[in-house]
Amino acid sequence: MVFIRGGKFLMGTGEGFPYEAPAHEVTVESFWMDAHEVTAAEFAQFITATGYVTEAEKFGWSGVFDLETREWKRVDGATWQHPHGPHSTANNDEPVMQVSYNDALAYAHWAKKRLPTEAEWEYAARGGLAGKTYDWGDELNPDGKPAANWWQGSFPARNTGEDGYIGLAPVGRFAPNGFGLYDMAGNVWEWCADWFDEKYYSKNSGINPTGPPNGEERVMRGGSWMCSENYCRGYRVAARSHATPDTALNNLGFRCVRVSQ
C-alpha cells in the first residue's frame, strides 16, 4: 500500500458532465491505498481462505463486453475466474473483474481494509496535481503516447491498441501518478464506498465527505479499457460513473484503503 498524506483539494470539475460539477473544496485525512487494483491472484487468496461465492456465481451469469461483436451481452458462466465467459480464464496479474460492490466489500473486510470514499479516491488519483484533467497532467498523450490503458480509436467500432493492449492490461504497466499509484486511469472502473447522487456535489464540502446517506447505486471511478475520446472519457481524474451494488462486469474492479498500515 502507498501512504497518502491528507490535504485540501478541489474535487470535481465544471468542464465535464453535469454530475461532475461543481468543483468544490474538500479536505481528506491521511490514509493508505493499494498501489494497484486488487488482482485476480489476490482475490483468489480471499476465496480460498473464506469459501466466498460471488454474486455473479450465484446469478449464473454476468455482463460482458464482447470484443468480437463489439456489444454488451448477458453471458452465462461469466465470473471472476472466467471474466469474459466460461471459455476465458482470469490472469493472475490482471485486475480482478466480475466482482460486485458487495463482493468488493466482503474482500475488503477480510483484508482488514475498506473501500475508498469517492473523495479519497479522487484526491489520491490527482497525485498532488491541482486542477489537471488527467492524473498525469492536461495532455491526453504526453510525448505522443497513451499514459494509461484506454480505448484508442472510435468506440466500439475501432480499437487501434496504441497503448499496447486491445483489452485489459496487467496491473502496473503504465507509469504511476505523483503519489506512486498505478492505473488510477483506465484498465477497470473501481468501486467506491459512496452512494451515487448526481446532485451531491452541490451539497457537499468539508472534511472527509462520505457521500449521501442512501441511494440505489454506488459510485465507480477511474474509467476502464473501454473508455475512449468519443465515449465517456472516464479516464479523466474527475470522471464519475455508477451502478447497482450487485453489478459485475468485465471492465469493473476495485482497490482498497485503510487508515493505518
**What confidence score (pLDDT) does residue 261 get?**
63
DSSP secondary structure string, 244-259?
-TT--BTTEE---EES
Handedness of CA 192, 208, 126, 216 (dihedral sign): positive
- 64 forms bridges with which residues in the sheet? 73
What pLDDT shows up at residue 10?
95
pLDDT digits over 177-204, tens only? Answer: 999 999 999 999 999 999 999 999 988 7
Look-up of cell digits 471511478: 221
The confidence score (pLDDT) of residue 260 equals 75
pLDDT for 44-60, tens place per residue? 999 999 999 999 999 99
C-alpha distances in Å from residue 245, one per residue of 54, 60, 86, 217: 12, 17, 23, 6
What rounded mean pLDDT belongs to the chain?
A: 96
Domain ranges for the chain: 2-258
What's the pLDDT score for residue 206? 87
Give the mean pLDDT per block of 10 residues along the chain (261 residues): 96 92 95 98 98 98 95 97 96 98 98 98 97 96 94 94 95 97 98 96 86 96 96 95 98 95 63
Which CATH number describes the domain made up of 2-258? 3.90.1580.10
Cis check: omega of the bond before 22, within 30 degrees of 0? yes
- The Cβ of residue 145 has, within 10 Å, a number of other Cβ atoms equal to 10
